[in-house]
Structures are given as C-alpha cells and as structure tokens.
Structure 1
C-alpha cells in the first residue's frame, strides 16, 4: 500500500485532530510525533500525519523542521501534502502559517495556496474572509486572550497578509455556493493575477466538499481538519471504490478500531487512567472542574511550590498514595489571574516548567503500570509524548469529534487521548476515564 496523503501538523493535538478527520473519511492513518528521523518507516497506511511543535517556534526553526519532514514524507512515497493549522488560525503576526505555507509552495512547486481553516463540526466557519467561532467573530471569542497567540483580528486576508510577502485574496461564499467549477475558475483567475494565497469561505461541510473537489488534484492544500476530511473522502473513493483500489482488502470503517491492534486497546484496567491537564482554555477549565468532582485530583500550584523539583516530588508522592484502578487527575490549568500569580512566583519559564513536571509524572505512572493517558492541551500533549519517548501511533476510534484514541505498537501498548485545549464537551475528561 502506498501512502497517498502526507500531512504536516503544527502541534500534537492538531495532529490527532486531522488524523481523526482522515480516519472518519475511511482512510488508514498513521500519526508520527516530532521531526521524523531517517530510520523511521511508516506502517501500511493511506495517510501519514506528522505532528510537530512548530506553531509558536521561531520561523527559522519551524521552517527547518518542515523541510526535513517534507523530505522524509517524500522518501516514504508521498506525493500530495496537507499543511494543518488550527481552525482558529492560531499564530502571531509574524507567523508561522504564512512562512510555512510559502515554504511548502516552494517545495511542491505550486504557485498558489488554498487557505481554509473552516471546521464546522467544531463551530469554526469562514464567511466574507472573517473567521467565526460559533456565532461570534474570532476576535470576540476566548481566543482573543490566548496567552501565546491572542487572536484579535478575524479578517484572514488582512491577518495572513502580515505574515507573508505574497498577495492574499478571497474566494467568497457566493462563488463557493455555485460549485467546484466556480471555485476552480476563481482560484485560477487569482493565480494568473499574481495572488499567492487564496482564502476560501466555507460555512458547512458541503462547502468544504466543494473546495476539496475543486482543488483535489493539487499537490498541496492547507487548512484545518475539516478540509482534510473532505479531501480524504475523495481520496478514499479513488482508493477503495474504483479501479485505483490498491490492497485488495476492505478499508476499516471510519471511527472504529482497525487491524490487529483492536485487540490490545483495552489492555489493563480502564479505570487505571491518568488525566494530565495543562491547557488554560475555557473549555479545559470547565472539563477540569467537572473531573475534580468525579475522581481524585491534584493541582500543580507554582505559588505554593515554586521549585519545579519539589513540585515534581510532591506530585509523585500524591500519585503513589492513590488507590490503583481508579482514574486520577493532575492539572496545572489555571485562570488568567492564577497564571499571573504563577509567573510572579516561578518566573517567565513557568509554562515550560509545568510541562516538564507533567511529562515526568507520565513517565512515573507508566513505569508503575498505567497504560491509559488522557492529556488536555497542545503543549502539554507534546511534553507528555516526548517524555514517554513515543514516536509513532495508530489512530483509532474517536471519543468526540477531533479527539481520537491513539495506540502505540508493541506487546504492551499505551493508549493515549490527546485533546486540544479548546475541544470537547464539559464531561469529556470524565468520559475518557470511566
């Protein structure tokens, strides 16, 4: 089986989100964490997602990692690429969405990119070039006060224009509503006029299907998980419903465990789950509040314990004192006022210190026999996966849209659920740790 789509995601939970979308499309999906090394090979899959921590990295470093990943995906036989960024377009005025898209255009030889962060399943839509979260403009949502990437401008054409020297233009919803031919003609017209980046409106899954159909033969698309899923559905139809079918076997049903790994998913007690929450988003704060009432919890508090080594020692002692076979929650999620107090106590590297502690606690728990980890927050997920030394997983069933379970390979697999800070219902953490 040849891997058809190679996806580069700008953080770890973004990687699980887009992998879930591709799996919903019916594709076999492998998820790789971090910049791949030459010795790493993909298992048989239709799509490969490489998740990296480049959303807020310096542009030069992020570009270097993307170029290396592109070369590795090419060595695995990939010829079509997808750049996945957040459906809330999280970035700074300097990047990295514009610079990375420019780089991928250069690497693929494409002249024009398609920019489509719409993800209606998560309430993110684009209309007249403006990004909405639910019924509010992005600038009026909680993302406007994000601690790393405050999104105060919902105009994607204007915002992206600050990140790139290339011209940015819009294909508006009336053209999208007309159908794939109208979108294709509009993009071609803008391409001929020298536009480098084309933002497309999309307010429904049908609109995403229209954009994907219009652009399906391109070697590069960019967007959130919504457009990737729509593109994946078209790829699935080619692979499994026609003469292009490659492996002679039926594809796994979307959203179900697949192949020989399904038998290992419940290895160990379902109750022996460690929940680690580091995101400070409103969604995660609500989920943590619900989880605290459901099972034992411990807060990492920099004001009380500003020394990271002592914080880790105390948290380990708490973890060891808990009865086995029950879910446990350790969290550093905090309100804006609590974050300010924490920085005053621990210093400017507070977030990094907390991530390191959460990662070390995951290692400690795994050594003690915990096989299931639920992690809330993109940066926290990166810290935990890196600390556990996980390089590659297979994507399995979703707990909620965009939040899939992932399973490591081997005789004693770990089962992971990595959740974007903004994703999920209020009871997600409880439902993940029955």
Structure 2
C-alpha cells in the first residue's frame, strides 16, 4: 500500500484524486487517525495534515506522527505531498519535513518535483513555471503568507535543508530506465529536483521510483507512481451527487475571485463575511446562518474572498494571524450550521478554509470519488451523517467550477431547508 502525507487539506484531495485516476482505490484521512484505526481495503491511503503554514518544528512532529501510523498499517512506500507552487519560506516547511522523513525512512537519495502539468506547473532546468510564467513572475509572487520571489527550485530547497540539493535535468529524465536509475544512484546530492514538463516525464519517473522508500512532490509525480503501481483506470465507485448544496469560500486567490464573481454574476444568494465589522467569530457565524435561514434560492454562497487591496486592509486592521483565526473559526461554525440545516453537498474554496470546515464538522476521512474539476474530487465521508465534500484549492478549477459544482438537481429543494 502507498502512504501519502499531505501538508494541507486541499492538497491532500488533489493527490488522492491523482492516485484514484491512475487506478488506486484511495482513502483520505483528515489528520492522523488513532493508532487502532484499521483502514478499509485500499491500495493508497492519504493523511491530510494542516502543516504547511505552522512552525517548522510542529510540522515535523505532525508529519512523523502520520508516518508512524502509516508504517503500522502495511505501507511499503511513503510520498510527501507539498504544493505544486512550492509554497514555503527559507524556514520551511518543505525542507524540514522532507529531511525528517528521509532520516526516519533511511532514504539516501530522495527525488522530488513540484511539476504537475495538468495544473500548468512544470519544472525545467530546475526552475518552476506556472503556466507560461516563471514562479517569481506569477501571482504567487504576492502570496500573503508565502510570497514566492525566486523560481530556482534547487536554491529554494537548499535554503531549507543542510544536505546538498541537486538537479536531475530534463535530458536525464527523458533518457529514463537504466540511465535515469544510474544518474540517481551516482548522485552526490541528498535531494534531487527532477525536471518534468509532461505527464510522460512523470510516468517515466514513477516507473524508476516505484521501489524507493520515500518520494516527494505535488500530485503530478504521485500520479506517475500510481500509474506504475495501479490498474490504469479509476476504480468503479458509486457516488450519489444529489442533495442541496452550499458554497463556503475563503481563498483570496485570483482564480477563486473569478469563481466567486461568476456566482455573483449568476445572481446566486450570497452573504459576505466582514471580520472588521464583526471580529467575534461566533457572532459572525450566527449572522451568516440567520441570513441563510431567511434567504431563498439554490446553491447559496457565504464568502470572505476579497481582493488583494481588501486583504491588505483586513490584515492591517486585525493582523495576518488574527484575521485568519476569526474567519476560520466562523467558517467552521457556519459549516456545522449548514449541515444541521440539511445541506448535503458542501463546496469549500481554499486550503485553510477547507481544513477549518473538516475540523469543525469532525470528518475523520472518506472515500475519494469522481472529480468536479482536475484535482478536485468529491469525498464521501466515513460517517454518512456528514455532507459530501468538495474541497477546492484556491487556484484550481475553471471560472465556473463553484457554479457548476453547486448546481441543483431537479429534486433538490431551495434553501432555507430547516428552521
């Protein structure tokens, strides 16, 4: 069984669907399960942590705890999943976690790449591209928590680890087979960033790395591994995607701004969370649920998504951590209230937002189902009392994703659903 440790919730869903798409029956757990938890029959298990933005020492502790659980449940290979835009700072958390896992698994050389061509992320000559732009020229340059001002991945990772970092160039990867294995075996660097510009490059890497104890990267390389290990097509699963839907959006990414704008353009019922006007999260959530109880229509939107200028104003007023804490707490309470009111499909936008929703609902895990968009699967929680979840990373999906995912079925009643 393949075990995956993901550093955030939406990243975990992204990698889980990549594994399923390539033929592995996949389970997703939110947080490390208790030691006695025995996973149902599966070929891959993903543990979703919330370790991307916490202090590096805490991220290492959480990741090693997840590793301990996976090793106790027949996992023969571990994959550390981080973001395809390499979200991190000089302090981590990619490097410190990768180093701790490598030490625990006695991995001499670890191959990694954030390349995920399906999402427009490619690595060439050691540099990360987002679409046609270098990482440092993309919108990630001004990310509010991890501004990415350098595109050189070797340099970025080297700043986070004491061991040497090297490069597997594109020609070496394309050579594949014995030549690629030899290059990895002869490398003096402890970590090797592999160029990959196509899905075929990732499949070549997956075949060569299929026996390594530790591999790391974004969902793209995980899919390459799954292609080498799996049946080549998604397993047959039945998912009922009916039931009333609601959207909770907290991401401030450029793509989510487009997606929220599309819902507003369509005239969907919408309520904006304003943490400056109401900084108490309990009251902020109660106001949103009161609005929900009195509105009518399908697929309502409750959102704190805002423009870069609005985000700076909010963070200046409340602090970066303070504003995030208020909104995450409020969003979690809103999710619980919506589930109690009969929402059966809950769509969230943003990694931290999704993590807050999952934690508040008490969702332990679930089966990975069909994709609403590449890398954005529906999740059927283990507990049938919980709604189906669609946890969207900020930059994922077409502009109409939130609209199409929350489109009502013919039998879905409009809100309000319950008093």
Asked if these proteins are the same fold (TM beyond 0.5), I'd say yes
Counterparts of 2:279 and 2:316 in 1: how far apart (Å)? 10
**What's the Cα RMSD here?**
1.5
**3-state secondary structure, aligned to 2:227:** helix
Asked if 1:393 corresponds to 2:366, the answer is: yes
Counterparts of 1:282 and 1:331 in 2: how far apart (Å)? 15
Structure 1 residue corresponding to 2:339, chosen from 333, 344, 366: 366
Structure 2 residue corresponding to 1:20, chosen from 11, 17, 20: 17
Asked if 1:124 corresponds to 2:121, the answer is: yes
Q: Is the 8 A contact 2:363 2:386 kept in 1?
A: no
Counterparts of 1:430 and 1:169 in 2: how far apart (Å)? 43
**3-state secondary structure, aligned to 2:190:** strand
Q: Is the 8 A contact 1:307 1:346 kept in 2?
A: no
Per the alignment, residue 428 of structure 1 pairs with: 401
Q: Is the 8 A contact 1:303 1:341 kept in 2?
A: no
Aligned length: 405
Per the alignment, residue 235 of structure 1 pairs with: 229
Structure 2 residue corresponding to 1:149, chosen from 146, 150, 158: 146
Per the alignment, residue 348 of structure 2 pairs with: 375
Worse-superposed segment, 5-14 or 294-303: 294-303
Per the alignment, residue 338 of structure 1 pairs with: 310
Counterparts of 1:413 and 1:350 in 2: how far apart (Å)? 28
Per the alignment, residue 241 of structure 2 pairs with: 266
Alignment deviations for residues 152-208 of structure 1 (CA, whole Å, 9 cap, x no partner):
111000110000000001011111122232221111111xx3x11001100001111
Asked if 1:64 corresponds to 2:45, the answer is: no
Asked if 1:281 corresponds to 2:256, the answer is: no
Asked if 1:327 corresponds to 2:299, the answer is: yes
1:413, CA displacement in angstroms?
A: 4.6
Counterparts of 2:97 and 2:282 in 1: how far apart (Å)? 37
TM-score, scaled relative to structure 2: 0.94
Per the alignment, residue 104 of structure 1 pairs with: 101
Per the alignment, residue 167 of structure 1 pairs with: 164
Unpaired segments ≥5 residues, structure 1:
241-252
Note the 1:197-212 alignment, pairs <5 A. Answer: 197-212=191-206
Per the alignment, residue 43 of structure 2 pairs with: 46
Per the alignment, residue 412 of structure 2 pairs with: none
Counterparts of 2:223 and 2:241 in 1: how far apart (Å)? 27
Structure 1 residue corresponding to 2:357, chosen from 373, 384, 388: 384
**3-state secondary structure, aligned to 1:395:** strand
Counterparts of 1:358 and 1:184 in 2: how far apart (Å)? 47
1:231, CA displacement in angstroms?
A: 0.5
Worse-superposed segment, 407-416 or 135-144: 407-416
TM-score, scaled relative to structure 1: 0.91
1:210, CA displacement in angstroms?
A: 1.2
Counterparts of 1:81 and 1:198 in 2: how far apart (Å)? 17
Counterparts of 1:222 and 1:93 in 2: how far apart (Å)? 18
Structure 1 residue corresponding to 2:214, chosen from 216, 220, 242: 220
Q: Is the 8 A contact 1:31 1:50 kept in 2?
A: yes
**Structure-2 change in CA distance of 1:117 and 1:344 (3 Å):** closer
**3-state secondary structure, aligned to 2:230:** helix
Asked if 1:306 corresponds to 2:279, the answer is: yes
Q: Is the 8 A contact 1:296 1:329 kept in 2?
A: yes
1:339, CA displacement in angstroms?
A: 1.2
Q: Is the 8 A contact 1:83 1:101 kept in 2?
A: yes
1:411, CA displacement in angstroms?
A: 4.3
**3-state secondary structure, aligned to 1:221:** strand
Counterparts of 1:293 and 1:409 in 2: how far apart (Å)? 35
Counterparts of 1:114 and 1:299 in 2: how far apart (Å)? 43
Asked if 1:290 corresponds to 2:284, the answer is: no
Q: Is the 8 A contact 1:13 1:419 kept in 2?
A: yes
Q: Is the 8 A contact 1:257 1:397 kept in 2?
A: no
Per the alignment, residue 414 of structure 1 pairs with: 387
